[in-house]
Structure 1
Amino acid sequence: MKVKWILLFIIVILLAPINAFAEKLSPIDKLDEISDEALLMVKYERYDDAKKLLDYFSNQFASLTGNERSFTMDQLRIVTNSHDEALEATVSQNMKYEERLNKLTKFRLVMDAVATTRQPLWIGMEDKILSTFHQAEDAAKNGNKDAFNTCLNSFLNLYNVIYPSMKIDVPIENIQKVDARINFIDQYRSQMVGNAENIKELDRLEVDLKKLFNDMDEDQADPSLWWVIISTGSIIIMTLSYVGWRKYKGDKEMKKNRSRDLKD
């Protein structure tokens, strides 16, 4: 029983700094939370509440950027532009729900990309984006112009949602390569269907898209977290080994005592 309490004490002591760190949010993390709450309000069509959150974000953002250099110039521009679009989505009288949601999602992904350096949320849209692109690709290969245009538009809308946050995390030369292919396909969309040579450009874009996501979707666990896990595991293993050794010694001593009692 005593050993169990020792193990519990060790785990609590080791995990306490992690919990304390998690509870203490940085100013940028707080802005990230506000963007998440604003997106949630738009999901529930509570546009007035979303606007209030975005106005509050604007004040906090201005205060943060005025006091310290927490953002690069590119980040400042991307955050400001996505925030303006999100704000427009909450006050527009004619904007459709899907478009409002896309603009708030874009803003949310941007703030997450700024706030975190590992596993950004935008890479979680890989399956949805590639699935939509595959539908456009299949339609082009099957000679279905209407389906191709519809699916290509859906793909472009989704790509536009992750584009600003992607620019924060991905080297510009990688983005420019994908952009060039997308612009070519969009510009010559009327010639894509049924054209074997142009369809090859769709295949090349698929390869570039997959590479873009795969380069980001690597195991990027925080080294400090791994250190805590390894340290915790090592201590627990040492403790259990010590407990096992004590038990072994105790059993061995008990057998000796029994042997003596029998002899006596």
Structure 2
Amino acid sequence: MKKWIVALIIGMVLIHIKPALAEETYDWESLNQISDSALQLAKQERFSESAQLLEYFAVKFEEIPIDREYISLDHFRTITSTHKNAKDIIQDEKISTDEKVRSLTKFRLVVDAMVSEHQPLWGSMESSIMETFSQMKSDVEEGDNQSFQHDWNQFLALYEVIYPSIQVDFDSQRVKKMDAHISVVEDRLFQEIPETSRVKQLAIMEEELKALFERVKEDEADPSLLWVIISTGSVILLSLSYSGWRKYRGEKEKQAKRENNNQ
């Protein structure tokens, strides 16, 4: 029964795969749908079926050539690593459901980051991450080291989920900059420096985080607005075409009547 369900899901995904035209194409959207289905199955604790979809993803992903036109070597490695991690975790019975879903979420987000040109899904985690970071600053200001460590660990867990996506959407220098900020806070000496210095360091890191999220919001065009424009244009074109056809048909009918009257 489970095999039939997975086969049905794969079949539904294949329906959306775009046909090849003059040359072979590689449909990232179908891979995006496979990753989403794998995540949804994991959320339902249907781990065996989710693992089968991950296997199918690997087969389709290997068909994509590694070059600038389709995917860079760095991005290929990022997705491959995230996929392997998700596959290993979901098949491990000792690992909790939450951890399995977290791993699949990380995989889902990085695939979407490769596909989305506007506002990738990982940007939706901004609120959770920034709220946690704000709480960390409050912990430092209040001198509550225990709460700070708890909130810091929570922040790292959230940031880890979007980290592969950031690697895909930003250049390596930008990623290394955030890595450096994290290394500073993780260093045991961080707790020994004055409170004002710690708050200042966190404020700098906070601005860098905000800049990351703001960057993915800077779209060339609002997709919803673009859809309205395309839809409106299509309706206008269809209306003009229909009006022209009615006019043409009317002229033909008049001509036919004149010919009948002349006979």
TM-score by length of 1: 0.73
Which residue in the other structure is 2:208 paired with? 208
Checking the alignment, whether the CA contact within 8 Å between 1:41 and 1:49 is kept in structure 2 is yes
Which residue in the other structure is 1:246 paired with? none
Task: Please state how far the C-alpha of 1:182 moved relative to its aligned partner.
Answer: 1.2
CA–CA separation in structure 1 for the residues paired with 2:29 and 2:234: 32
CA–CA separation in structure 2 for the residues paired with 1:94 and 1:227: 46
Correspondence 1:139 to 2:139: yes
Secondary structure of 1:130 counterpart = helix
Task: Please state how far the C-alpha of 1:223 moved relative to its aligned partner.
Answer: 8.2
Checking the alignment, whether the CA contact within 8 Å between 1:31 and 1:57 is kept in structure 2 is yes
Which residue in the other structure is 1:91 paired with? 91
Which residue in the other structure is 2:82 paired with? 82
Task: Please state how far the C-alpha of 1:175 moved relative to its aligned partner.
Answer: 2.0
Checking the alignment, whether the CA contact within 8 Å between 2:39 and 2:105 is kept in structure 1 is yes
Checking the alignment, whether the CA contact within 8 Å between 2:34 and 2:57 is kept in structure 1 is yes
Checking the alignment, whether the CA contact within 8 Å between 1:167 and 1:175 is kept in structure 2 is yes
* Residues 226 and 92 (structure 1), Cα distance of their counterparts in 2 relative to 1, 3 Å cut: same
CA–CA separation in structure 1 for the residues paired with 2:230 and 2:29: 27
Checking the alignment, whether the CA contact within 8 Å between 2:17 and 2:30 is kept in structure 1 is no
Which residue in the other structure is 1:110 paired with? 110
Checking the alignment, whether the CA contact within 8 Å between 1:86 and 1:104 is kept in structure 2 is yes
**Which amino acid is the alignment partner of residue 105 of structure 1?**
T
**Which amino acid is the alignment partner of residue 183 of structure 1?**
S
Which residue in the other structure is 1:101 paired with? 101
Structure 1 portions without partners, runs of 5+ = 1-21, 240-264
CA–CA separation in structure 2 for the residues paired with 1:30 and 1:154: 33
Checking the alignment, whether the CA contact within 8 Å between 1:140 and 1:192 is kept in structure 2 is no
TM-score by length of 2: 0.73
* Residues 66 and 136 (structure 1), Cα distance of their counterparts in 2 relative to 1, 3 Å cut: closer
Task: Please state how far the C-alpha of 1:225 moved relative to its aligned partner.
Answer: 6.8
- Could you say what the CA RMSD is over the residues aligned between the two structures, in angstroms? 3.1
* Residues 94 and 227 (structure 1), Cα distance of their counterparts in 2 relative to 1, 3 Å cut: closer
Which residue in the other structure is 1:197 paired with? 197
* Residues 34 and 185 (structure 1), Cα distance of their counterparts in 2 relative to 1, 3 Å cut: same
Task: Please state how far the C-alpha of 1:91 moved relative to its aligned partner.
Answer: 0.8
Deviations 1:189-214 (A, max 9, x none): 76169622122101111111111111
Give the helix-richer structure, 1 or 2.
Answer: 1
Which residue in the other structure is 1:124 paired with? 124
Q: How many correspondences in the alignment?
A: 218
Which residue in the other structure is 1:226 paired with? 226
Correspondence 1:174 to 2:170: no
* Residues 78 and 141 (structure 1), Cα distance of their counterparts in 2 relative to 1, 3 Å cut: same
Structural mapping, 1:233-244, within 5 Å = none
Larger relative contact order (CA 8 Å, sep ≥ 6): 1
* Residues 117 and 67 (structure 1), Cα distance of their counterparts in 2 relative to 1, 3 Å cut: closer
CA–CA separation in structure 2 for the residues paired with 1:186 and 1:66: 36
Which residue in the other structure is 2:47 paired with? 47
* Residues 227 and 57 (structure 1), Cα distance of their counterparts in 2 relative to 1, 3 Å cut: closer
Which stretch of the first structure deviates more once superposed, 226-235 or 139-148?
A: 226-235
Task: Please state how far the C-alpha of 1:32 moved relative to its aligned partner.
Answer: 0.8
CA–CA separation in structure 2 for the residues paired with 1:193 and 1:132: 22
**Which amino acid is the alignment partner of residue 93 of structure 2?**
Q
CA–CA separation in structure 1 for the residues paired with 2:85 and 2:149: 25
Secondary structure of 1:64 counterpart = coil
* Residues 32 and 153 (structure 1), Cα distance of their counterparts in 2 relative to 1, 3 Å cut: same
* Residues 24 and 220 (structure 1), Cα distance of their counterparts in 2 relative to 1, 3 Å cut: farther
* Residues 194 and 142 (structure 1), Cα distance of their counterparts in 2 relative to 1, 3 Å cut: farther
Deviations 1:114-148 (A, max 9, x none): 11222111111111110111112211211111111
**Which amino acid is the alignment partner of residue 199 of structure 1?**
V
